[in-house]
Amino acid sequence: MPQENELVTLLMALAVFIFLCSNASRIKCVPRHRLFLAAYSVLLTAWGLTILEGYYWEATVNALEHMCYAGGAILLACWCWAVFVRSPRCQ
């Protein structure tokens, strides 16, 4: 059974995902937006897997969830590096 805070996190993440999809033209103005969206999508998948692990194949889904957290963090770090270190706006 999922905890309430896990459900709230997933619902808020889905609301942000809907916002991102509805403002796709504005998101394209963000530098390296595809990398940013990939990171968010992987993290969204991890939050969804958090809910699923209470119902199906606990050990396997838990491992996938943590792999998604690691992958999302790596992608987000790559996006931050590409935007803020590699091509700084203010010099």
pLDDT digit string (tens) for 12-62?
A: 999 999 998 898 888 888 888 899 999 999 999 999 999 888 788 888 888
pLDDT tier for residue 68 given thresholds of 50, 70 and 90: very high
20 is a domain residue: no
72 is a domain residue: yes
23 is a domain residue: no
62 is a domain residue: yes
pLDDT tier for residue 86 given thresholds of 50, 70 and 90: confident
User: What is the residue range of 69's domain?
Assistant: 1-7+31-91
Residues 51 and 20: their CA atoms lie apart, in Å, by: 22
Query: What's the domain count of the chain?
Result: 1
82 is a domain residue: yes
45 is a domain residue: yes
Q: Which two tokens stand for residue 49?
A: 């897997």
22 is a domain residue: no
Residues 20 and 38: their CA atoms lie apart, in Å, by: 12
Contacts (Cβ under 8 Å, ≥6 apart) of 25: none
